[in-house]
Amino acid sequence: MHMGKLSMVNDLCHELLNGRKTIEESIEDLTRIKAKPSLNKWTFLILYPAISMVLCLIGFNGTWIDATLSFVIGIVVGIFQVLAINFPITFGYLFEFLSALVVTVLTNFIFKIFANYGMCIQSQKIVLSALSILLPVIKVTIDFRGSLSH
């Protein structure tokens, strides 16, 4: 969902209903709005790990090791988001499920590796911080904040 585009379409509807635009002008404007680029793929590959890391530190009171691992796991979630955008029919419906599955498996694998060396990580904080961005409320909030900046 791109809240900036949604806001532009809403404004266009108001202009059309108030008689400030004709139907032909509105169709042209709608075509321009549709053609505007959404967030690029690099944005997801940068923001997902960064948000995961910050959530681990601030939201879940994780350690720096937990946050670093959450950053790495967040890259995986970002890659899955890019795949969901590029392949909406085949991968888009499985995005959240596969993200949760892979994040959980990877975190448990990392937990076992750390445990073999006598180190302790808080795997639930890593999983929750990496997957929290998938919650719809967070997506809408980020999209809304992005639309305010335009």
Q: Would you state the pLDDT for residue 145?
A: 56
Computed over its alpha carbons, how large is the radius of gyration of the chain? 20
Confidence of residue 33 (pLDDT cuts 50, 70, 90): confident
What is the per-residue pLDDT across 89-146, written as a single tens digit (0 to 9) for each? Answer: 888 788 889 999 999 999 999 999 999 998 889 999 999 999 988 876 555 555 555 5
Tokens of 70: 């959450």
Tokens 């073999």, residue?
A: 116
Q: Tell me the residue type at 108.
A: N
124, 108 in Cβ contact below 8 A? no
Q: Would you state the pLDDT for residue 79?
A: 92
The answer for residues whose C-beta is within 8 angstroms of residue 97's C-beta and 6 or more apart is: none
Q: Check pLDDT > 60 for residue 1.
A: no
Q: Check pLDDT > 90 for residue 73.
A: yes
- CA dist 110 and 106 (Å) reads 6
| Size of the chain in residues | 150
The answer for residues whose C-beta is within 8 angstroms of residue 112's C-beta and 6 or more apart is: none
Confidence of residue 34 (pLDDT cuts 50, 70, 90): confident
- CA dist 93 and 85 (Å) reads 11
Q: Tell me the residue type at 4.
A: G
Number of helical H runs and strand E runs in the chain? 7, 0
